[in-house]
């Protein structure tokens, strides 16, 4: 009996440990809600560790920059912003945990999540709480099905349409090949609408090749097919990491086509060890280019650098997040949000004014929102010339 | 022409698998364990070369040499501190430890180098061969990889059959207990196996990343598993088998990518593994051995 | 005092099992009390179902690793099969079967059985072999399942079921068509039928089946195979049959955990995070830390390792690294022949005894 007593004791100890841990969070919550008197708490969720961490960290830096600027200038309606970002590792389950952690902290508005798949899980929670949610960069079309969720970025389907339109309207090419990541929501989302819009615009898709997340380094088979298809342009709705490998193999293979990509290609020149010459003349549709010459971009870029954030995170995700905080500010000021209001009251107030505001931001001037949550702004096309992004007409 | 180009791509990929599979098959044949961390030693080797060439601007061949030495030491360290204490323990315990080591290397690399991939600059600067008026292109990496894998295979075969330490390896792989009785230092022989296998991993890493220039902490994982499939197909423990298996897997992978589906190519490679295990578990060149009580 | 003769009536195994059940029930009661007093945080409420799910996963993997003595690195793959199969069922019948208490049990059965079928399919060729093949084949299986489900589009309309590997539009569905699996976006709109009570009940059922299996004739046969295959074969134990039973049972419960997972979140996509290699390793870490073959330990380890990183969020960067170290260190401590014999010779109790004796003699001197 002695032995089993010890076992029971061990089990009970383990149990109390777990319960104790939870209780510890409980007490944190109490202290959190008391300080909410003259501040407004904005939470953010995104991948800060793991494979997609580069996006989450960019969002964190961009948002923090905007928060610091606003707090210095007097805050929103006189309230200082308290900003806290939690990690979701680009995983739906972890994202819901992060949301619950932020709720325990006393979050009143959510900026997030950064990536689409976790966002689709979190929107059910924000819907249930009627929490105002603005995602900087989750571009899936289903992210904004609820009336309390809004986007800063274009949806994937819109990017596909805009790309096909741009290629056709500017007469860049007629015969097009596509290589996309079939296991990635972003990539296949763009490809799906690109395909139908290209057909409508009279572009001929001569080759469609896919790859998956596990085989995103070897493109020899796909490129060989593209080469023999006689395509004039290769459309790449993929991320920069895969594209860097693809471009280098294409040059080895002697593939002579034009390249056109979406905002996922942004950052390709910052990949360590990448030979910028390979990306020469690559065109991409992105809302933000760090060396664009307009005043808002210049101001943002110099402030970002002055604040000492890693320059590798100075990309469109940082720009989207920077804009997101200012959009929240504009909407909160317009609707007269006060610190004492409940989450649901703020949600109602904010979603009421979203269709009425116009914001000039880094990622587009004159941004407006439909009540569905979709943003309307004009996409910018840039071309890489001499290792730098140059705006195209 | 299309088929020929794809076939060449397959041979190119396959010879990389061969070099990795040689490392697997040696360790499996002699230490009788699946060294899960082999693929990750490849990744470490590639990172060392990347840091030395792109970061410090060193001569790439010198960098490769340093990387080989470093990987050799790494392999021996892993063997000494993670695997040797478990000699004589159940195979399950050894396998779990190997997975732990693999995971450890991946995550240390992740903490040091971050999640963003690095673009690996090919260390080879030879012109490609163009045939049939430029319709068929054989890149310099392909030729070098094939030559290197052949040299390594021949070198290893000679080493194992002709030299004293090599014959000690054979003895240990046949019967560890008897070899020990005959005066073979089993620990030293296994350590030497790991040293050679890990040194080869550095070469494999450089070849892999020169051909497919995206370097991340996951770089070695998938090629490592496929190389294991190649080793099983060729007959695990057999040095020429690793070469044949590697080439076969590479060609099958590329051809199924081209003619069947690029999403299902991996599935097809693994289906081959299951079929081989069903039909001929000893592989193409594997030896059959009877277990004694 | 009165309990002493009573406990003599129970066998040691039964007593140990009862403690395990009691532990789960006490945990359930404690959570219910906290919930009733209203001091439950959002984070804790959100974690309840995952804790049950990871416990079930850990118990089911322990059946393979601890009892069968083989290694499955594709447990996340079985979970994935269960999650997808049940989600397809629930999404399709969401309107026809409205009562979740009818729909969810059927979903559980479907998920579990589909996973078990895959377990048998993989087990037949592989379990006949010795060595590390099961590990590599299950690993490959997990990756294949994940890749295929990431690229597949399935929908149905009045004409029947459509399937494509290319895109939603190439399904060619009628206007009334409904998309079920949307490629990498997976399945959207699974009803959130999982809750804590269901989770606890499923955990208890898992425990009941697994513990009884271990003490059954089949369980003893499997363990004899683990300990000495040749001896077991020579007394006429059918190796493949018993191994297959244990393996498919394990796959079944991994599928059940998948059902809990997919009905907890309402979105389901096969990413490397939830159904990939990393998840399989995480479950393995639970089993190894809890003690290979120790069912109760698996549950405790699963709960502690799931809750801890959520509570100590600052340490997240090092979480994976800690998993790696846990695997290596635990294996060396528990399995190194030298350490094992050292412990047997100078166990902790012996150590204390000799130390005490020494001190006593010193004091006397």
Show me where the domains of chain A are located: 37-154+295-376, 157-286
DSSP for B73-91 reads: HHHHHHIIIIIGGGTTS-H
pLDDT at residue number B289:
54
Nearest chain C residue to A50, by CA: C317
pLDDT of res. C359: 60
User: Fold match between A37-154+295-376 and A157-286?
Assistant: yes
For the stretch C26-71, pLDDT in tens is: 999 999 999 888 888 888 889 999 999 999 999 999 999 999 888 8
Instruction: Check if the beta carbon of residue C79 is closer than 8 Å to that of residue C105.
Output: no
The chains in contact with chain C, meaning 3 or more Cβ pairs closer than 8 Å, are A, B
pLDDT of res. C358: 64
Between C165, C277, C317, which is nearest B111 by CB? C317
On whether the B2-279 domain is CATH 1.10.3470, my answer is yes
**Above 50 in pLDDT, residue A34?**
no
At the topology level, CATH places domain A157-286 in Rossmann fold (3.40.50)
Residue C302: predicted pLDDT: 94
Higher-pLDDT residue of B249 and C267 is: B249
Phi–psi pair at A151, nearest 5 degrees: -115, 145
Mean pLDDT of chain C: 86
C136, B225 contact by CB (below 8 A) = yes
DSSP A69-90: HHHHTT-BTTBEEEEEEEE-TT
- pLDDT (average), residues A79-90: 91
Q: What's the pLDDT band for A200 if we cut at 50, 70, 90?
A: very high
When mean pLDDT is compared over A306-310, B192-196, B222-226, the highest value belongs to B192-196
Got the DSSP string for chain B?
-HHHHHHHHHHHHHHHHHHHHHHHHHHHHHH-S--TTHHHHHHHHHHHHHIIIIIT---HHHHHHHHHHHHHHHHHHHIIIIIGGGTTS-HHHHHHHHHHHHHHHHHHHHHHH-SS-EEPPPS---PPEEETTTTEEE-HHHHHHHHHHHHHHHHHHHHHHHSHHHHHHHHHHH-HHHHHHTT--HHHHHHHHHHHHHHHHHHHHHHHHHHS-EE-TTTTHHHHHHHHHHHHHH-TT-HHHHHHHHHHHHHHHHHHHHHT-TTTHHHHHHHHHHHHHHH-TT-SSPPP-PPP-
Q: What is the pLDDT of residue C169?
A: 73
Pick the CATH number of C11-311 from 3.40.30, 1.10.150, 1.10.20, 1.10.3470: 1.10.3470
pLDDT one-digit tens code per residue, B134-154: 677 788 888 889 999 999 999
pLDDT at B290 over 60: no
Question: For A2-15, how does the pLDDT look when each residue is reduced to its tens digit (9 = 90+)?
Answer: 455 555 555 555 55
Give the angle subtended at the CA of B33 by the CAs of B32 and B35, to the nearest 5°.
140
Say which range, C286-290, C306-310, C311-315, C328-332, has the weakest mean pLDDT: C311-315
Region B217-232: what's the mean pLDDT? 90
* pLDDT bracket for residue A24 (50, 70, 90): very low
Summarised one tens digit per residue, pLDDT across range C187-228 is: 888 888 888 999 999 999 999 999 999 999 889 998 988 888
Task: Assess B24–C contact: CB distance below 8 Å, yes or no.
Answer: no
Model confidence at B196, in pLDDT bands (50, 70, 90)? very high
Query: Residue C2: pLDDT above 50?
Result: no
Comparing alpha-carbon positions, the chain A residue that sits nearest to C167 is: A192
Instruction: For residue C331, list chain B residues with Cβ-Cβ distance below 8 A.
Output: 86, 89, 93-94, 96-97, 100
How large is the ipTM? 0.87
Residue owning tokens 């910052």 = A270
Check if C11 contacts A (Cβ < 8 Å): no
Question: Tokens 């208490």, residue?
Answer: C101
| Highest-scoring range by mean pLDDT, A8-12, A347-351, C149-153 | A347-351
Point out the residue among B95, B97, B107 whose CB comes nearest to the CB of C320: B107
Task: Please state the rounded mean pLDDT for residues A240-260.
Answer: 90
- CB-CB contact of A227 with A195 (8 Å): no
For A35-62, how does the pLDDT look when each residue is reduced to its tens digit (9 = 90+)? 445 889 999 999 988 777 888 999 999 9
CB B49 within 8 A of CB B205: yes
pTM of the model: 0.88
> Is the torsion defined by CA of A161, A164, A167, A171 positive or negative?
negative
For C234-282, the DSSP string reads: HTT--HHHHHHHHHHHHHHHHHHHHHHHHHHHSEE---HHHHSHHHHHH
pLDDT range class, residue C229, cuts 50, 70, 90: confident
What would the mean pLDDT of A332-348 be, rounded to a whole number?
90
CATH match of A37-154+295-376 with 3.40.50.2300: yes
pLDDT at B261 over 90: no
Q: Do A22 and C274 touch (CB under 8 A)?
A: no
Q: Where are the beta strands (DSSP E) in C165-215?
A: 178-182, 187-188
Tell if the CB–CB gap between A242 and B214 is shorter than 8 Å: yes
Are B273 and C338 an interchain contact pair (Cβ–Cβ within 8 Å)? no
CB B234 within 8 A of CB B59: no
Is residue C92 helix, strand or coil? helix
In chain B, % of residues over pLDDT 70? 96
Mean pLDDT of A170-198: 90
Query: Could you tell me the strand order of the sheet in which C153-157 lies?
Result: C160-164, C153-157, C178-182
Q: What is the Cα–Cα distance from A153 to B286, expressed in whole angstroms? A: 57
Alpha carbon C319 to chain centroid, angstroms: 20
* Interchain CB distance below 8 Å, C274 and A87: no
In 3D space, the residue among A140, A100, A379 whose CA is nearest the CA of residue A266 turns out to be A379
Query: How far apart are the C-alpha atoms of A173 and A207, rounded to whole Å?
Result: 14
Helix H or strand E encompassing A205: strand A204-211
The ranges assigned to domains in chain C are 11-311
Domain boundaries, chain B: 2-279
- Name, in order, each residue with C-beta under 8 angstroms of A227's C-beta and a sequence gap of 6 or more: A253, A254, A255
Least confident of A19-28, A78-87, C147-156, C254-263: A19-28
Q: Name the residue with higher pLDDT: A239 or A110.
A: A110
Q: Are C273 and A89 in contact (CB under 8 A)?
A: yes
The C-alpha angle with vertex A110 and arms to A108 and A114, in degrees rounded to 5, equals 165
pLDDT over threshold 90, residue A96: yes
Q: Mean pLDDT over residues B127-140, rounded? A: 76
**Closest by Cβ to A121, choosing from C150, C266, C311:** C266
What SS3 state is found at A347? helix
Average pLDDT over residues B86-90: 87
- What integer pLDDT is reported at residue A243 of this predicted model? 92
Signed CA dihedral, C135, C140, C141, C147: sign only: positive
**pLDDT attached to residue A393:** 61
> DSSP state, A154?
P
């Amino acid at each position: 009996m002695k032995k089993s007593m010890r076992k029971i004791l061990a089990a009970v100890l383990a149990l109390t440990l777990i319960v104790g841990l939870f209780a510890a969070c409980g007490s944190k919550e109490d202290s959190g809600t008391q300080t909410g008197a003259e501040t407004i708490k904005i939470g953010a969720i995104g991948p800060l560790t793991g494979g997609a961490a580069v996006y989450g960290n960019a969002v964190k830096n961009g948002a923090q920059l905007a928060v610091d600027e606003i707090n210095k200038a007097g805050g929103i309606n006189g309230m200082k912003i308290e900003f806290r970002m939690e990690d979701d590792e680009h995983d739906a389950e972890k994202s819901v945990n992060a949301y619950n952690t932020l709720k325990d902290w006393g979050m009143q508005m959510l900026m997030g999540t950064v990536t689409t798949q976790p966002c689709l899980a979190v929107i059910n929670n924000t819907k249930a709480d009627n929490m105002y949610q603005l995602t900087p960069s989750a571009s899936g079309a289903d992210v904004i099905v609820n009336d309390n969720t809004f986007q800063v970025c274009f949806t994937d389907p819109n990017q596909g349409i805009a790309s096909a339109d741009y290629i056709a309207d500017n007469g860049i090419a007629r015969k097009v090949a596509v290589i996309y990541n079939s296991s990635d929501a972003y990539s296949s989302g763009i490809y799906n609408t690109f395909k139908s819009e290209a057909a409508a615009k009279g572009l001929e898709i001569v080759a469609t090749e896919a790859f998956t997340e596990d085989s995103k380094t070897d493109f020899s088979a796909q490129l060989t097919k593209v080469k023999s298809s006689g395509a004039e342009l290769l459309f790449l709705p993929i991320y920069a990491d895969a594209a860097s490998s693809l471009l280098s193999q294409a040059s080895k293979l002697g593939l002579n086509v034009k390249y056109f990509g979406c905002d996922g290609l942004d950052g390709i020149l910052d990949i360590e060890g990448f030979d910028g010459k390979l990306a020469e003349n690559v065109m991409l549709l992105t809302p933000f280019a760090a060396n664009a010459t307009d005043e808002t971009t210049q101001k943002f870029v110099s402030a970002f650098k002055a604040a000492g954030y890693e320059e590798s995170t100075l990309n469109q995700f940082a720009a989207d997040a920077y804009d997101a905080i200012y959009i929240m500010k504009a909407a909160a000021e317009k609707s007269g949000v006060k610190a004492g209001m409940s989450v649901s009251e703020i949600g109602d107030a904010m979603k009421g004014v979203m269709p009425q505001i116009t914001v000039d931001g880094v990622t587009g001037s004159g941004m407006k929102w439909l009540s569905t949550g979709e943003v309307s702004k004009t996409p910018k096309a840039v071309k890489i010339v001499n290792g730098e992004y140059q705006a195209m007409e | 022409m299309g088929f020929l180009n794809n076939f060449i791509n397959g041979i190119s990929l396959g010879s990389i698998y061969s070099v990795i599979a040689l490392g697997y098959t040696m360790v499996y044949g002699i230490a009788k364990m699946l060294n899960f961390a082999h693929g990750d030693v490849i990744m470490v080797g590639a990172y060392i070369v990347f840091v030395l060439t792109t970061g410090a601007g060193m001569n790439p061949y010198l960098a490769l040499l340093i990387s080989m030495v470093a990987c050799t030491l790494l392999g021996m360290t892993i063997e000494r501190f993670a695997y040797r204490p478990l000699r004589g323990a159940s195979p399950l315990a050894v396998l779990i430890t190997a997975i732990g080591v693999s995971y450890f290397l991946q995550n240390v690399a992740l903490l040091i180098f971050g999640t963003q991939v690095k673009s690996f600059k090919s260390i080879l600067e030879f012109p490609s061969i163009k045939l049939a008026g430029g319709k068929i292109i054989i890149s310099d990496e392909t030729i070098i990889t094939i030559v290197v894998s052949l040299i390594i295979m021949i070198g290893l075969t000679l080493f194992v059959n002709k030299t004293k330490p090599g014959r000690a390896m054979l003895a240990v792989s046949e019967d560890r207990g008897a070899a020990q009785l005959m005066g073979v230092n089993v620990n030293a022989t296994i350590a030497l196996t790991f040293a050679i296998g890990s040194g080869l991993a550095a070469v494999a890493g450089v070849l892999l990343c020169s051909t497919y220039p995206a370097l991340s902490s996951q770089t070695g994982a998938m090629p490592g598993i496929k190389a294991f499939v190649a080793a099983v197909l060729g007959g695990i423990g057999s040095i020429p088998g690793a070469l044949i298996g590697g080439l076969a897997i590479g060609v099958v992978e590329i051809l199924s990518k081209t003619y069947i589906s690029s999403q299902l190519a991996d599935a097809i490679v693994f289906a081959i593994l299951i079929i081989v295990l069903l039909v001929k578990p000893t592989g193409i060149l594997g030896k059959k051995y009877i277990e004694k009580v | 005092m009165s309990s002493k003769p009573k406990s003599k009536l129970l066998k040691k195994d039964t007593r140990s099992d009862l403690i395990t059940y009691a532990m789960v029930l006490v945990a359930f009661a404690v959570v219910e009390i906290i919930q009733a007093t209203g001091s439950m945080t959002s984070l804790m409420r959100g974690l309840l179902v995952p804790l049950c799910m990871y416990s079930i996963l850990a118990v089911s993997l322990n059946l393979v690793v601890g009892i069968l003595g083989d290694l499955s690195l594709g447990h996340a793959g079985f979970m994935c099969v269960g999650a997808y199969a049940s989600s397809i069922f629930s999404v399709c019948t969401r309107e026809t079967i409205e009562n979740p208490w009818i729909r969810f049990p059927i979903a559980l059965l479907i998920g579990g059985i589909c996973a078990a079928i895959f377990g048998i399919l993989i087990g037949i060729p592989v379990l006949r072999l010795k060595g590390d093949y099961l590990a590599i084949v299950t690993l490959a299986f997990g990756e294949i399942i994940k890749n295929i489900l990431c690229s597949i589009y399935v929908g149905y309309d009045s004409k029947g079921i459509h399937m494509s590997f290319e895109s939603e539009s190439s399904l060619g569905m009628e206007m009334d068509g409904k998309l079920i699996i949307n490629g990498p976006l997976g399945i959207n709109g699974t009803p959130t039928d999982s809750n804590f009570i269901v989770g606890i009940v499923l955990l208890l059922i898992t425990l009941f089946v697994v513990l009884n299996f271990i003490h059954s004739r089949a369980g003893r046969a499997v363990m004899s195979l683990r300990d000495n295959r040749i001896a077991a074969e020579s007394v006429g134990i059918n190796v493949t049959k018993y191994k297959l039973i244990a393996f498919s049972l394990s796959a079944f419960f991994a599928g059940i955990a998948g059902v809990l997972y997919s009905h907890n979140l309402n979105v389901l996509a096969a990413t490397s995070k939830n159904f990939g290699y990393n998840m399989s390793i995480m479950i393995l870490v639970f089993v190894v830390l809890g003690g290979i073959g120790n069912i109760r330990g698996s549950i405790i380890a699963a709960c502690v390792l799931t809750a801890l990183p959520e509570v100590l969020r600052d340490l997240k960067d090092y979480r994976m690294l800690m998993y790696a170290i846990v695997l290596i260190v635990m294996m060396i401590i528990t399995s190194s022949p030298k350490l094992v014999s050292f412990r047997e010779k100078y166990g902790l109790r012996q150590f204390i005894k000799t130390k005490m004796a020494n001190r006593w003699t010193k004091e006397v001197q």
